[in-house]
Chains A and B, each alone.
Chain A
Amino acid sequence: MNTESMNTLKIVRDTINLVQQQMEEGTWTKAEKKSIAATLRSLNTIENVIVNETLMKMADELNASNTQLTGLIEDMENTSAKIEKISIAVKRVSKVIGVLAEITKKAIAVGIL
């Protein structure tokens, strides 16, 4: 667990809460309100960076086994294709026998056999 990032996130979010409360409770000029709004946007940006970096690290860790998984899937697909070849081979032999029967029939008809 990334304790440092999580602690920083907590501090940033506590600060956002405080600034929001101050903005609602205090009496501020329009310029001051704009300045507080800018502060809130900056705090939210910091929060986004912390959270998104943490999520991206998680995604990278989850994706670490992808190469192995992809390799396994390719091997399985190749094996599946090889097994299917038995059926294809039988189909081919069947066609050859069919053609041979036709040729023999024709050869008999013209008196070669």
Chain B
Amino acid sequence: MKPIPLITLAALLFSSCSVLTKSQVKNISVFAETTDAFAEFPGELIRVRADLVMEERIVAALQMPDEVEIKNTISDAQKNYKIQRRIADSMDLPFQLLKQYALLLAKLSSGDYVESLHSNRESFESNAGSLIDVTNSALFKEIPPEAGTIFTEALFLAGERMTKAKQTKALKKFVPIGDTIIGIVTKKLSDMLNGDLKTIMQSDSTKFFNTYTNIVLKKPERVNYSTVSQYAKAVDAFDNLEAFRLQCIESANTLAAAHKQLNRAIATKAKMTELTGEIKTFGASVNKLYKLYKAIKTKAPSTENQ
């Protein structure tokens, strides 16, 4: 009967370890889901821009004097398009890593480990009970039959406490490191979107409308419902892309603020409300980003009718 008091003692010792509150786990889980959704968008901004640049090159090809020059212009444009798609893919990488980090954060804060531990409980209890029965039948007959249940209870309580304590320790170690990296990545993204990319995108828009005016709108023989409709769609697409850029900046900033809030709450064991303001703001911001992206994809201009 010696192991039982020892394990019970261990369980009592572990029971003093702190664990995350339910609301903290929920906040981390929502943060992970939102980061997962956000991760796709910065690269998409570059891809959508590449689509509109390609569109401008197709319109510009109409001005070429013969089929050889048209084909050359389109071939150049396609090569450029592929390069820009590759650049967009490489821009995805840090956000895919952030997504992985957020998902691991959710895993480390979840009750999955404890659930997995408890999934062994039934067979453990039955085996312990069986061993006690066998031993009692042959030997001392002095182990109480309920000892198996008590033993199992104590062991699983200790296991649960130990698991939760390890989870808390891991989160306290990793979240501050994650916070620094998230701060750096989101700041760089904001700077990029507010800097040269903003200038390039404004210039893209000017170039598209100059090309369209020079080659289509100034040529009465090229002006018809389709071409005017294409022009209207392009105006819309550039407006949406600009809104998408601004929303990306807002989402990156809210991502950093939401993680900062999680970091503070985990470090200080602060109780969190059901969902904190920062996590809600981050979720709402990424939701807006998704809606804008959807609008861009459904209203994109096309040269199909020309």
Contacts and interface: CB of A to CB of B under 8 A. Distances in A.
Contacts of A101: 127, 130-131, 134
Size range of the chain A interface in the assembly = 35 or more
B214 A17 contact: yes
A86 B87 contact: no
Contacts of A64: 184, 188
Contacts of B215: 20, 24
A13 B206 CA distance: 9
A75 B175 CA distance: 12
Interface in A1-19: 1-2, 5-6, 9-10, 13, 16-17
Tell me whether chain A's interface is mostly helix, strand or loop, or mixed: helix
Contacts of A87: 113, 116-117, 119-120, 159, 163
Contacts of A97: 124, 127-128, 131
A40 B60 CA distance: 9
B196 A17 contact: no
Interface stretch (B22-30, B96-104, B270-278, B290-298): B96-104
A113 B210 CA distance: 98
Interface string B20-47: 0000000000000000000000100010
Contacts of A34: 65-66, 69
A59 B91 contact: yes
A94 B93 contact: no
A55 B200 CA distance: 10
Contacts of A16: 207, 210-211
Contact of A83 (B84, B170, B192): B170
B91 A62 contact: yes
Interface in B198-219: 199-200, 203, 206-207, 210-211, 214-215, 218-219
B66 A82 contact: no
A46 to B, nearest CB: 12
Contacts of A56: 87
A17 B156 CA distance: 75
Nearest to A29: B65
A62 to B, nearest CB: 5
Q: Which among A34, A70, A104 has the highest number of chain B CB atoms within 10 Å? A: A104
B69 A24 contact: no
Contacts of B1: none
Give 5 nearest A-B pairs by CB, closest first: A33-B65, A98-B127, A94-B124, A101-B131, A69-B97
Given A68-B177, A79-B108, A90-B156, 11 more contacts: A16-B210, A24-B215, A40-B60, A44-B60, A58-B197, A65-B94, A73-B101, A76-B101, A84-B116, A93-B124, A97-B131
